[in-house]
Amino acid sequence: MIKFLDLFQINQNHKKELMAAFEQVLDSGWYIMGKHLAAFEQQFATYCGVKHCIGVANGLDALILIIRAYKEMGIFKSGDEIIVPANTYIASILAISANDLVPILVEPSLDSYNLDPLLIEQHITARTVAILPVHLYGQLCNMDAINTIAKKYNLKVIEDCAQSQGAESVKGTKAGNFGDAAGFSFYPGKNLGALGDAGAITTNDEVLAETLRALLNYGSHVKYKNKFKGVNSRLDELQAALLSVKLTGLEVENQARRKVAVRYLNEISNPKIILPNLVSDKAHVWHLFVIRTQNRDELQQYLTANEIQTVIHYPIAPHKQEAYKELGELHLPISEKIHKEVLSLPISPVLSEDEITKIVDAINKY
């Protein structure tokens, strides 16, 4: 069976350095909020080209805490609305509801599967406070268009970069540096993955960064003095040290993913299959290679029978989830079509040329 994602192999390639990092943390005797976290935050801020990186426990917390911080800063309040793509992974939407704000679901474009900037303005109301674009599957949204709208209506832009570590515009701006703040996930399967849960926030806003640093640590800037009713969402030393190792390999691994994607794009040729579009080479880091087809479940069964593991990202649209019954009546035909037709092919930095050939041949014979 060709694995959808061979995490074992991805991490084996870094084993020596990861074991050394583990030993350093073990032997330091200091496991929370120490030099390994500070070092990773500095490295990731530099990598993204931003002033501040704040480590947190996971990607969902990163987004929840950004919105929470804007509430504490008096910029957002309960009941305010945030525009979010209707076809995102549900975590982007959960972060809005968790703060008692209202998610406004906007359809994506079928060309990019990202938020369609042409549909944003008609959803802006007097209560809109932010746009939360998601660089889905690893491809940057049209951030020029989104930022222009945000500026016109004085909205915050909060990027969800959980799937897009390292994606870069033609001007060289990296994901996490397009808006007011960005949330990253380092869940093991993401392009930059820890060996457990981990996340981070990037921003150029000093006040926001300070507020976040308190919120994630019980609401405290200074030990035993609490300014906010905060949470515990710290990124621990061990994951930070492991992430510093993985970060050194991110550019090479993203480039390896691009090579897989180029082969799929050039070699898959089947009228039943719709391939993804590429806006610009570096704007995509191919977290997922998502194709569309009419009989998606049948194709998936066929590929399984051919020893090729695939995954559906995602089978149920957020507004059709039981958790969001209140959104169930929304008419979102593009998003529903996407959820019915998408299938993710294996893609990773460790997929071999032979495996790619086998996958291409199977799909072309389908």
Ligand X SMILES: *Cc1c(COP(=O)(O)O)cnc(C)c1O
* Contact call for residue 58 and ligand X (CB under 6 A): yes
Exposure string over 234-263, b if 16+ CB within 10 A, otherwise e? bbbbbbbbbbbbbbebbeebbebbbebbeb
Closest CB 23 distance from ligand X, rounded Å: 26
Q: By the 8 A CB rule, do 60 and 95 touch?
A: yes
Site string for ligand X, 128-157 (x = CB under 6 A): ------x-----------------------
* Contact call for residue 178 and ligand X (CB under 6 A): no
SS3 288: coil
- Kindly tell me which of 199 and 360 has the beta carbon lying closer to ligand X: 199
Question: What is the DSSP pairing of strand 102-106 with strand 52-56?
Answer: unpaired
User: Pick from 166, 179, 199, 318: which binds ligand X (CB under 6 A)?
Assistant: 199
> CA-CA distances (angstroms) from residue 183 to 58, 191, 200, 343?
9, 14, 6, 25
Sequence-distant (6+) residues with CB within 8 A of 26 are: none
* Contact call for residue 344 and ligand X (CB under 6 A): no
ω before 314 within 30° of 0 (cis)? yes
- Kindly tell me which of 36 and 313 has the beta carbon lying closer to ligand X: 313
* Contact call for residue 162 and ligand X (CB under 6 A): yes
- Residues 274 and 127: their CA atoms lie apart, in Å, by 38
- Kindly tell me which of 95 and 214 has the beta carbon lying closer to ligand X: 95
Closest CB 233 distance from ligand X, rounded Å: 10
* Contact call for residue 160 and ligand X (CB under 6 A): yes
* Contact call for residue 88 and ligand X (CB under 6 A): yes
**Piece of the chain touching ligand X by CB under 6 A; list 17-25, 79-87, 159-167, 352-360:** 159-167
Closest CB 162 distance from ligand X, rounded Å: 3
Give how many residues touch ligand X by CB under 6 A.
Answer: 15
- Kindly tell me which of 11 and 270 has the beta carbon lying closer to ligand X: 11
Considering only residues 8 to 47 of the shown chain, the ones binding ligand X according to CB under 6 A are none
* Contact call for residue 89 and ligand X (CB under 6 A): yes
* Contact call for residue 211 and ligand X (CB under 6 A): no
Closest CB 216 distance from ligand X, rounded Å: 14
- Residues 163 and 313: their CA atoms lie apart, in Å, by 12
- Residues 133 and 142: their CA atoms lie apart, in Å, by 9
Could you tell me which residues are beta bridge partners of residue 174?
168
- Kindly tell me which of 136 and 345 has the beta carbon lying closer to ligand X: 136
Q: By the 8 A CB rule, do 37 and 56 touch?
A: no
Q: By the 8 A CB rule, do 55 and 40 touch?
A: yes
Residue whose CB is nearest to ligand X in the complex, by number: 59
- What is the contact surface with ligand X in residues (CB under 6 A)? 58-60, 88-89, 91-92, 134, 160, 162-163, 185, 187, 197, 199
